[in-house]
Amino acid sequence: MLDMKWVRAHAEEVQAAADGKKIKVDIAVLLQRDDERKLLLQQTEEARRLRNTLSAEIGKLMQSGEREQAEKMRAQVKQLNEQLEQEEAKLASVQEEVTRLQWLVPNIVSPDTPVGLSDEDNVELRRVGELPVFDYQFRDHVELGEMHELIDIPRGVKIGGTRSYVLKGAGLLLHRAVQQLALDLLLKQGFTPLEVPLMVREGTLVNTGFFPTGRDQVYELQGENKWLVGTSEVPLVSYYADEVIDVKEPVKLAAVSTCFRSEVGSGGRDVRGLYRVHQFAKVEQVILCAPDAAESERMLQEITGHAEELLQQLELPYRVVAVCTGDMSQKTYKQYDIETWMPSREAYGETHSSSNLHDFQARRSNIRCRDEDDKLVYCHTLNNTAVASPRILIPLLENHQQADGSIYIPAALRPYMAGAERLILPEHEQGK
């Protein structure tokens, strides 16, 4: 959560951020409740002090034989205890309300974040690569996947229900290949790879800013107080929770993990194929750096560049957009999305997201470092999707399909695909 003193001094800015991000929190009410909390705290502390003073006096009076006066003070102490019990109950109630509202307070947004209501208001920054031109009837990734025996959605649904799938044969190999390519790219950039827990405590999701606003997107393990993460950003950031770390050089972490999302609210959207599924894999990059705006901005450009480099190695056309206020999450200060061209959608589709959170996550997770004056301060954190699969298979298959039904494999992937330059149709599909 943001520092309350800062929130008081910037109440209008914080309320504007909440309104822009469609988070229902009234900052004026929060500040009012916090004032009530402070007053009740002061009153309870004063009542405790007076009770302790009277209790000490009672002891002295009893020792000196002044029992009548001592009994009168005991009556005062009893009355004070009853009053204190009521005030403590009020304080606990108000404190609970203040805490609930504090957890809803959003991160502010950067001055260059576009104002908008939805992803339609995101602002394109650049396009890279040429869109494919097909002089034949092109196929979407589902048809290509079935023809090449790469994807089996009906059996996936039979096993796991809606938004499930099976990758088989070269489909699985491509799925693994893009992940390994992304991981190798990050290793060359100095990232430390981690294998991390995918079942996490509720507090971990709160501290990293995924709860309370994103609770409906996460699968809960009933009776365990544990949840399945939708991104390894959660455990990667939490790796350093409640610690003081050295960020003279930015700390760079990466993980390859399975991810789970409920996709509540997306019913009827992107129901065909692999675009919006419940289970997928991601290579995630997380950076913790000094709490310097220029430094974390530089890191944001760097991790976005890593994702762009991957897409260039995959020889895919894409564009980078600045995400607007209405399309941002509670925790984000500044965000870029990278959208890759998907012929079947006749549009760019989101494949990567890159975010700078400033100290929002670190403050909630209590991750600190020392500044130049040796003072403890909260770090800045950033994250980016190096690659997410099977969604990346959509543009990979569709953009690289050939007139004869084969699929071109980009040179960067071939070492992970036993040197294969193309996926050739099975014999029973050839000539159809």
Tokens found for residue 329: 């999450």
Question: What is the CATH architecture assignment of 4-104?
Answer: Orthogonal Bundle (1.10)
The Cα–Cα gap between 161 and 174 comes to 24
49 is catalytic: no
Catalytic residue among 297, 308, 339, 350: 350
Residues 144-193: tens digit of each pLDDT: 999 999 999 999 999 999 999 999 999 999 999 999 999 999 999 999 99
Contact in structure between 401 and 139 (CB atoms under 8 Å):
yes
85-106 tens-digit pLDDT: 899 999 999 999 999 999 999 9
Give the pLDDT of the chain (432 residues) as one tens digit per residue.
Answer: 688 999 999 999 999 999 999 999 999 999 999 999 999 999 999 888 888 788 778 777 777 877 777 777 788 778 888 888 899 999 999 999 999 999 999 999 999 999 999 999 999 999 999 999 999 999 999 999 999 999 999 999 999 999 999 999 999 999 999 999 999 999 999 999 999 999 999 999 999 999 999 999 999 999 999 999 999 999 999 999 999 999 999 999 999 999 999 988 776 668 789 999 999 999 999 999 999 999 999 999 999 999 999 999 999 999 999 999 999 999 999 999 999 999 999 999 999 999 999 999 999 999 999 999 999 999 999 999 999 999 999 999 999 999 999 999 999 999 999 999 999 999 767 766
Q: Where, residue-wise, is CATH 1.10.287.40 in the chain? A: 4-104
Give the 3-state secondary structure of residue 364.
helix
414 carries an active-site annotation: no
List, in sequence order, every residue forming a beta bridge with 339; answer none if it has no partner.
319, 350
Binding residues: 231, 261-263, 277-280, 284, 350-353, 383
Residues of the chain with CATH 3.30.930.10: 119-423
Region for residue 43 given its phi and psi (left: phi exceeds 0; alpha: psi -120 to 50; beta: otherwise): alpha
Residue from 353, 354, 365, 389 carrying the catalytic annotation? 353
366 Cβ contact list (under 8 Å, min separation 6): 207, 241, 242, 243
Q: Is 202 designated active site? A: no
SS3 173: helix
Does residue 353 carry a catalytic annotation?
yes
Q: What is the chain's Cα-based Rg?
A: 28
Q: Report helix, strand or coil for 428.
A: coil
Tell me the binding residues for ATP.
261-263, 277-280, 350-353
Ordered DSSP codes for 106-151? PPP--TTSPP-SSGGG-EEEEEESPPP--SS----HHHHHHHTT-E
Q: Exposure of 31 by Cβ count < 10 A (0-12 exposed, 13-18 middle, 19+ buried)?
A: middle
Select which of 276, 319, 370, 414 is catalytic: 276
Close Cβ partners of 201 (under 8 Å, ≥ 6 residues apart): 225, 226, 227
Paired residues of 377 in beta bridges: 369
Beta bridge partners of 192: 253
- Quickly list DSSP for 39-107: HHHHHHHHHHHHHHHHHHHHHHHHHTT-HHHHHHHHHHHHHHHHHHHHHHHHHHHHHHHHHHHHHHPPP
Catalytic residue among 33, 51, 163, 261: 261
CA 394 to chain centroid, in Å, comes to 23
Q: Report yes or no: 399 and 343 within 8 Å, Cβ to Cβ.
A: yes
Q: Report d(CA 272, CA 340) in Å as an integer.
A: 17
417 in Cβ contact with 179 (< 8 Å): no
Rounded Cα gap, residues 298 and 295, in angstroms:
5
* Phi, psi for 220 (deg, rounded to 5): -100, 140
CA 312 to chain centre: 25
163 is catalytic: no
What integer pLDDT is reported at residue 53 of this predicted model?
82
CATH of domain 119-423: 3.30.930.10
The pLDDT of residue 267? 64
Give the angle 130-134-136 at the CA atoms, nearest 5°.
Answer: 175
